[in-house]
Amino acid sequence: MFKTEEMEINLGPQHPSTHGVLRVKLHLDGETITRCTPMIGYLHRGVEKICENKTFFQGQVWTDRTDYVASVSNNLGWAEGVEKLFGITVPRRAHYIRTMLTELNRITSHLLWLGTHALDIGAMTVFLYAFREREEILSIFEAFCGARLTTTAFRIGGLREDLPPGLEKLVRAFQARFLDCIDEYETLLTENRIWKKRTIGVALLNAEDAIALGVTGPVLRAAGSNYDIRKAFPYASYAEMDFEVATQTAADTYARYLVRLEEMRQAHRIINQCLDGLPEGPVMAKLPKVLKSEVNEVYHAIEAPKGELGYYFVGEKGGQNPYRMHIRAPSFINLQALSKMVVGRLLADVIAAIGTLDVVLGEVDR
């Protein structure tokens, strides 16, 4: 009398909760998901191909546009990757400033994640509070390099210019009130019963699966692993910084929320250390006027807000362009775990799972 059949629906690519143009093909049995296939590529621009046709200097502007909410981290990955390819030693002051800006960028990225993720799940208010602080950091970026989003902040061999006068004051003013702001977010969410119902036990991914699927960043650390590239393979000036890796063991959406909040606190600590211990000296290494590479290949990974961001370069003898450039995008690899997280769960949990993975489609598709 009743006919039952599996239903296939598309989530996205224009659904607001998919953070851009992610399309997820879902097979539903009632409201339970039996199969989940993310379909990507709507934002594919061929960044790798473009960068092969631009010089090492010019290619940096395309990294702004892969993960556009964490462009400073991308700039750092590009600059350090090229420096590793050429064997360039960067002055210590430049390293400190880079570290400070990258940590500020981590805060903006996590704030954007917090606001939109909470908005997806149904908590409206925290979005406004998160964007209030994000604006302030974007003003700091504007003061440092002149742009708020597509920063192009660093140069190969250091920085274009030293910190502008007054920037330290801006950062200190932000630092003075930021810890209270995190407490405000916690007041709104951490004990909130609706938030807990929507996140605890949702989108589970244990450490073993996460490592097998190559998932890195806060998603891996919420499953109990303490793998953080800032500690494991220190770059920039992280080896001189005193901070802790935030971990949780529950491996669910709520644990990832706690990890990211704790990462913001640790970022706050690192920024304070950078400001206090900022060494004097030049900010740019001595370089020849035209950079010409030798035959070499490097893979340089940094801990971006979303996970391990790696740049793979192949240099050609006498070449001013990279012979091959590849971006190991954390969002791309992390998105593989989506189907593992949601199969057997309810449809509403897919929204939470996409939000908790913190994917940026500009980076997934490149």
Supply the minimum distance, in Å, between the C-beta of residue 180 and other proteins: 11
Which residue in 163, 178, 221, 215 sits closest to 329, CA to CA?
Answer: 215
Supply the minimum distance, in Å, between the C-beta of residue 290 and other proteins: 6
Using alpha carbons, list the distances in angstroms from residue 214 to 226, 304, 331.
14, 15, 11
The stretch near other proteins (CB under 8 A) out of 42-50, 173-181, 254-262, 351-359 is 42-50
Our CA angle for 55, 312, 23, nearest 5°, is 100
Supply the minimum distance, in Å, between the C-beta of residue 351 and other proteins: 21
At position 81, the amino acid (one-letter code) is G
Which residue in 126, 232, 134, 233 sits closest to 186, CA to CA?
Answer: 126
Supply the minimum distance, in Å, between the C-beta of residue 15 and other proteins: 20
Nearer to other proteins, 287 or 346 (CB): 287
**Per-residue tokens: 144:** 């440092």
The stretch near other proteins (CB under 8 A) out of 10-18, 98-106, 214-222, 348-356 is 214-222
Nearer to other proteins, 345 or 366 (CB): 366
Cβ(364)–Cβ(354) under 8 Å? no
Supply the minimum distance, in Å, between the C-beta of residue 295 and other proteins: 5
Q: Write the interaction track for other proteins spanning residues 188-207; mark x where CB under 8 A is met and - where it is not.
A: x--xxx--------------
Nearer to other proteins, 295 or 348 (CB): 295
Only one residue has tokens 């211990």, namely 277
Q: In the window 140-169, what residues touch other proteins (CB under 8 A)?
A: 142-147, 150, 152, 157, 160, 164
- Residue 180 touching other proteins (CB under 8 A): no
What contacts 244, CB < 8 A, 6 or more positions away?
A: 266
Nearer to other proteins, 1 or 247 (CB): 247
DSSP codes joined into one string, 281-308: S-SB----SS--B-SEEEEEEEEETTEE
Q: In the window 234-293, what residues touch other proteins (CB under 8 A)?
A: 285-290
Nearer to other proteins, 88 or 275 (CB): 88
Which residue in 61, 90, 85, 59 sits closest to 158, CA to CA?
Answer: 90
- What distance in Å separates the CA atoms of residue 17 and residue 23, rounded to the nearest whole number? 11
| CA end-to-end span of the chain | 50
Q: In the window 18-37, what residues touch other proteins (CB under 8 A)?
A: none
Query: Of these, 7, 9, 200, 212, which contacts other proteins (CB under 8 A)?
Result: 212
Q: In the window 77-136, what residues touch other proteins (CB under 8 A)?
A: 84-90, 125, 132, 135-136
- What distance in Å separates the CA atoms of residue 140 and residue 194, rounded to the nearest whole number? 35
Nearer to other proteins, 31 or 135 (CB): 135
Q: Write the interaction track for other proteins spanning residues 297-326; mark x where CB under 8 A is met and - where it is not.
A: xxx-x------x-x-x-xxxx-x---xx-x
Nearer to other proteins, 306 or 328 (CB): 328
Query: Residue 302, exposed/middle/buried by CB under 10 A (0-12, 13-18, 19+)?
Result: buried
Cβ(15)–Cβ(28) under 8 Å? no
Q: How big is the site for other proteins, counted in residues (CB under 8 A)?
A: 84
Nearer to other proteins, 80 or 103 (CB): 80
